[in-house]
A = this chain, B = another copy of it.
Amino acid sequence: MIGTVVATRKDENLVGTKLMITQPLNMNLEPVGEPLIAVDTVGAGIGELVIFSKGTAARIAARKMDSPIDVSIVGIIDEMDVHDG
C-alpha cells in the first residue's frame, strides 16, 4: 500500500469509494510488476502490507457487484512467517 489517488472525473459507480495505489511485492518486499489502483474496503493505511483481490472477488469485497471495480483491498497483514526453499 503506497499511496492515495484523487479522481474527480470517474464512473458514477465509483463515487464514494476510497482509491489507493498498491504495489505488488516479491518475497524480499521489493516491487514487482505494475502498481494497481484498488478500492479499500478494510481501512488500510499508507505503509501497511495488504491483501488484495482481483476481478469478481473485488466487486464482492466492495459489496458493489454493478460497479466497474476490478481490484479491492480485502485484508491487512499483521504478520508473515516465511521460509526459504
Residues B42 and A9 in contact, CB atoms below 8 Å apart = yes
Cα-based distance from A2 to B67 in the complex (angstroms): 25
A4 to chain B, nearest CB (A): 5
Given contacts A55-B70, A68-B61, contact A78 B6 (CB under 8 A): yes
Residues of A within 8 A of B (CB): 2-11, 13-14, 19, 21, 23-27, 31-35, 37, 41-43, 46-47, 51, 53-61, 66-70, 72, 74-85
Instruction: Determine if B76 and A51 form an interchain contact, defined as CB atoms under 8 angstroms apart.
Output: no
15 A-B pairs, CB-CB below 8 angstroms?
A2-B83, A9-B75, A10-B76, A14-B74, A21-B80, A25-B34, A26-B31, A27-B31, A27-B35, A33-B33, A54-B70, A56-B56, A57-B68, A58-B68, A68-B72
Q: Which residue of B9, B53, B85 is within 8 Å of A43 (Cβ)?
A: B9
